[in-house]
């Protein structure tokens, strides 16, 4: 029960921390892509040692996520995250993220 409450609170914080106005037509992309900001910041490095991703375009993000997912690119956490996304998810969230960073 406490775990459930904590996860719900965490999800709420993750959603509130994003700088995006939610529109119905990009809800799926928002849900997939917005958690990235929690670690990577919304354009500049957060000073937490995690690299900023604001310089990536959509194709670069998609390529990086697929390389993390396959294990071709070494990572500590990114492979675990990327394994949760299908190719379609990766293309959609990469395009959405790149659009947020312009
Ligand atoms: C829990 C924190 C966390 C979240 C959430 C997260 N990342 Fe990462 N990301 C990292 C870390 C840490 C690295 C460094 C590689 C590693 O050790 O996993 C990284 C590396 C990257 C890199 C390579 C950056 C570079 O220039 O070296 C890209 C691209 C990236 N992440 C994209 C994403 C995307 C897109 C999302 C959302 C789907 C995301 N990340 C969510 C922690 C996170």
**2-100 under CATH 3.40.50.150, yes or no:** no
| Binding site membership of 86 for ligand 1 (Cβ less than 6 Å) | no
pLDDT tens for the chain, residues 1 to 102: 555 554 554 445 455 455 555 565 678 888 888 899 889 876 555 567 888 898 899 999 999 999 999 999 999 999 999 999 999 999 999 999 998 865
pLDDT for 3: 59
Closest CA to 99 of 46, 47, 23, 6: 23
Compute, in angstroms, the gap from residue 32 CA to the centroid of ligand 1: 14
Compute, in angstroms, the gap from residue 78 CA to the centroid of ligand 1: 5
| Binding site membership of 98 for ligand 1 (Cβ less than 6 Å) | no
String of b and e for 64-74 (b: at least 16 CB within 10 Å)? bbbbbbeeeee
d(CA 52, CA 13): 20
| Binding site membership of 71 for ligand 1 (Cβ less than 6 Å) | no
Provide DSSP, 40-51.
Answer: H-SSS--SSSPP
Residue spans of the domains in the chain: they are 2-100
């Amino acid at each position: 029960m406490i775990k459930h409450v904590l996860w719900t609170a965490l999800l709420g914080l993750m959603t509130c921390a994003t700088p995006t106005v939610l529109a119905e037509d990009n809800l799926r992309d928002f849900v997939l892509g917005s958690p990235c900001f929690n670690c990577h910041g919304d354009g500049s490095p957060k000073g937490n040692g995690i690299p900023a991703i604001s310089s990536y375009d959509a194709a670069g993000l998609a390529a990086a996520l697929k390389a993390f997912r396959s294990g071709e690119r070494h990572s500590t956490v990114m492979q675990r995250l990327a394994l949760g996304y299908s190719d379609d998810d990766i293309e959609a969230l990469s395009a959405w993220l790149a659009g947020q960073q312009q």
